[in-house]
Amino acid sequence: MIIYGKQVFMHYLSKAPEKIEEIYLAKDLDKQTFKDINKIGKKITKLDFIKAQAMAKGGNHQGFLAKVSEYELANIKDFKNMQKIVILHELSDVGNIGSITRSAYALGFDGIIHSGNNVNLEAVMRASAGALLEMKFTQTKDILSLINEFKQIGFNFYAANHSENAKEHNKITFASKSALIMGSEGKGLSAKIIRACDLEVKITMKNNFDSLNVSNAFAILGDRIMNE
């Protein structure tokens, strides 16, 4: 897996240098930065701009690229022992998934489950600025079965849904084992999924508006769940 960009590169360098397999630099560095990079003992290859751009597929690499070991999905069984998880149902924008991952890690969530089609984890890693490295993350195709299974071990499920039936987020006492489900950017959550949950939750807004970007909405709801 190729990572690029200074922030995610430095995150790997400080948190998981053993996962770095090879380093590619496309800029001149100050002595201290080069020393910090060189001390992990990995091969360093200098690239020109064209080769670096090709490796980053046109992305903003800032001169920092690396080949790292593939990200390993967590076992779904690991999530049964957690207290606070977020489920992203059919989200497709890796920028949103990465942003939610950053917020989930910062707020203290235990793990993230993505339901629906598999996502590009390399892109999510970049979009999360390396926070994905710190999070338990897995994927499932059958969200309804997961809800039923996890309810049996004490999880309460909260469907993020801006509807008349939803309860305002600042008026809810969330259960100790809570799973927040965020719907896709376009369709949100289906009626079947909402019915399977214990409660619909919406963000309290002083000015009426249909909805917020899903990553912004998660940050607000996630903060309430972790810091009510």
- Does this model's pTM top 0.85? My answer is yes
Cα distances from 145 to residues 137, 140, 142, 175, in angstroms, run: 18, 10, 6, 20
Give me 97's structure tokens: 């998934």
pLDDT of residue 163: 82
Q: Is the pLDDT of residue 133 over 80?
A: yes
pLDDT band at 207 (very low <50, low <70, confident <90, very high): confident
CA distance 158 to 160: 6
Give the number of residues written for the chain. 228
What are the start-end ranges of the H helices in the chain? 6-15, 31-38, 49-55, 94-107, 121-127, 143-151, 191-196, 214-227
pLDDT at residue 165, rounded to an integer: 86
| CATH fold for the domain made of 76-227 | Alpha/beta knot (3.40.1280)
pLDDT at 209 exceeding the cut of 80: no
Hey, what CATH topology would domain 2-68 get? 60s Ribosomal Protein L30; Chain: A; (3.30.1330)
- So where are the chain's domains? 2-68, 76-227
Asked if residue 194 has pLDDT above 70, the reply is yes
pLDDT at position 75 is: 96
Q: How sure is the predictor about 177, in pLDDT bands with cuts at 50, 70 and 90?
A: very high
Query: What separation in angstroms does the CA of 144 have from each of 76, 118, 148, 204?
Result: 14, 17, 6, 27
Span 78-130, pLDDT tens digits: 999 999 999 999 999 999 999 999 999 999 999 999 999 899 999 999 999 99
Question: What DSSP designation does 67 have?
Answer: E
pLDDT digits (tens, 9 = 90+) for 135-166: 999 999 999 999 999 999 999 999 999 888 88
Location of structure tokens 């969200």: 143
Least confident of 41-45, 116-120, 209-213: 209-213
